[in-house]
Amino acid sequence: MQKSKEDVVRDLDAKVKKMTGYQAEAKLSIKTGAELQEYDVDIWHSKPTYYRVNLKNSKKDQSQIILRNADGVFVLTPALNKSFRFQSDWPQNSSQSYLYESLVRDVLKDKEATFKSTDDYYVFQTKTNYQNHNMIPKQEITFSKKDLAPVGVKLMDNDSNVLVEVKFSKVKFDAKFDKGAFDMKKNMSGAQMEVPTAAKEDKPFAILYPNDVPKGMKQKEEKQLQTSNGKRVILTYGDSKKSFTLIQEKAKAAPTSAPISVSGEPVDLGFTVGALTENSVTWAHNGVDYTLAAKGLTPDELLTVARSVYEKASK
């Protein structure tokens, strides 16, 4: 007998309530820029609130870990020996395309979600709840009929172009974890054995320009300053009402891995995890630190600009 949408929603809800956690592996593809970016994602979750999400960029030996344990929410960048600590209710505060219970929550929340059943899968289309949901307002989520495990997620723009895709290759419910699985220091030292710490060589970095700025805003200025750490580049953009400044400089590996407290929320920029406050976003990528500070931009606009700073644009 075919199950109705209501039956499947009820089953998903019961599954999330009953499970003690899970371990999953997935491939994350991001198609928002000219270059496709791909990540291997390793997800651990132990109920109620322990998480470890390890994002590895297949090409660039970059890895980042988002960790949530009894001490808070951390973002670790092993290659720079850096960890940031957030006072945040991540991942409860927005959609997370690679977390099972977040996908189920989006299905439960959207009373107008569409549903279809195929031979092997249940497929839902729902609204998303992202910080920049204007860019990716909807998603298609596929669950396996056999055990309701997540199979794939497609995040789409208003024209149904797929901008982000997650494909799950392995999901193990009620997985058991070692005692230190969610410990910050253990995760940092474990990841550093896999990823070489950033080399000390002073290679000049390529200046990146945002490919997507709010309508009417133009580049006003570009300044280069010499600092003890090499060059610092300051780009200023604006129009009559709004402005933003983008600062780029070589990231230095931290001498100790004591966590740096950050105000704001961890945000997924696609190519890296950054920190979003009311008027700024900061992140590190490919050995460069970026700070984007704005006046008069909405969080949506701020994130759109930040997300567009990741490849050498033709000026």
Decide: residue 173, CB within 10 A, 0-12 exposed, 13-18 middle, 19+ buried.
Answer: middle
E-strand stretches of the chain: 21-30, 37-46, 50-57, 62-69, 72-77, 82-86, 114-117, 121-127, 138-144, 150-156, 162-173, 218-227, 230-238, 243-250, 260-262, 265-268, 273-276, 280-285, 288-295
> What sign for the dihedral angle of Cα 67, 68, 70, 76?
positive
Q: Answer whether 302's CB lies under 8 Å from 276's CB.
A: yes
Q: What is the pLDDT of residues 57-73, one digit of tens each?
A: 866 567 899 999 999 99
pLDDT at 141: 97
Q: What per-residue confidence (pLDDT) applies to 80?
A: 84
Q: pTM, whole model, 2 decimals?
A: 0.86
Q: How far apart are CA 290 and CA 197, in angstroms?
A: 19
Closest CA to 3 of 107, 121, 152, 140: 121
Peptide bond into 48 cis (omega under 30): yes
pLDDT score, position 262? 85
Q: What is the pLDDT of residue 114?
A: 95
What are the φ and ψ backbone dihedral angles of 133, each rounded to 5 degrees? -65, -10
DSSP 256: S
Q: 17, 87 in Cβ contact below 8 A?
A: no
What pLDDT, on a 0 to 100 scale, did the predictor assign at position 34? 65
Alpha carbon distance 132, 135 (integer Å): 6
> What pLDDT was estimated at residue 307?
85
Instruction: Concatenate the DSSP letters of all residues of 188-229 into one string.
Output: HHHHHHHSPPPP---PPPPP---S---TT-EEEEEEEEEETT
Packing angle between helix 5-18 and helix 100-109, nearest 10 degrees? 140
Q: Which residues of the chain have pLDDT under 50?
A: 313-315
For the segment 235-269, what is each residue's pLDDT rounded down to a tens digit? 999 998 999 999 999 888 877 768 888 888 898 88
177: Cβ contacts below 8 Å, ≥ 6 apart: 21, 23, 44, 46, 50
- Residue 195: per-residue pLDDT: 64
Q: Residues 251, 199: contact at Cβ < 8 Å? A: no
Nearest Cα to Cα of residue 50 among 187, 156, 170: 187
Tell me how crowded residue 90 is: count the other CB atoms within 10 A of its CB. Answer: 20
Residues 65, 56: Cα–Cα separation, whole Å: 9
Q: In this structure, which amino acid lies at residue 156?
A: M
- Give the CA diameter of the chain: 71
pLDDT in the model for residue 315 = 41
**What's residue 154's pLDDT?**
96
Helix intervals (H) in 76-183? 100-109
Structure confidence at residue 312 (pLDDT): 61
Structure token pair of residue 242? 């709004």
185-221 confidence digits (pLDDT tens):
999 888 877 766 655 555 678 899 998 898 889 999 9
